[in-house]
Amino acid sequence: MPLVQLIYVSSACRELSDEELDHILESSIRHNTQQGITGVLLYTNGSFMQVIEGEEAAIEETYSRICDDDRHKDIFLLSKEAIAKRDFPRWAMGFRRLSRGEFESHPAYAPFLPDGFDAERIGAQPGVATEMLRQFSGA
């Protein structure tokens, strides 16, 4: 079965506490480990960007569950493509909560983060989502 990489951005329905983010992460790690999925989740200022990688059927099922989750909204699919090998093999789900200071130390990404992740600007620049996910996760 082919490997697929999927990246999306979304908005939290409200500013989430560390405890709520921990619950999302625990659940993601539990499910993703069972399904052979790896990836990274970034959160800043009420906004998510996530990459998930794995076999196509597992990615479809997981993304559909993620889309049904009412803790976030305005889910915008940035890319979904077949890959020969994983870009983010290290974690069942890596996670970073990013502060404004971290963006300021990467001014090249400022246009994509005016107030959380800007789906349209990120989507208009192929490759930048993967770069940001790599840069900010340390993958």
Pairing type for strands 38-44 and 3-12 reads: unpaired
Within positions 53 to 82, which residues make up the interface with ligand FAD, using CB under 6 A? Answer: 62, 65-66, 69-72
Interface residue with ligand FAD, options 24, 42, 59, 122 (CB under 6 A): 24
Q: Which range of residues in 20-28, 76-84, 96-104, 108-116 is near ligand FAD by CB under 6 A?
A: 20-28
Find the helix packing angle between 56-67 and 18-35, rounded to 10°.
150
What does the longest C-alpha to C-alpha distance in the chain come to? 41
15/105 with CB nearer ligand FAD: 15
Mapped to the 3 state alphabet, what secondary structure does 93-121 carry?
CEEEECCHHHHHCCHHHHHHCCCCCCHHH
Binding site for ligand FAD (CB under 6 A): 23-24, 27-28, 31-32, 41, 48, 50, 52, 62, 65-66, 69-72, 93
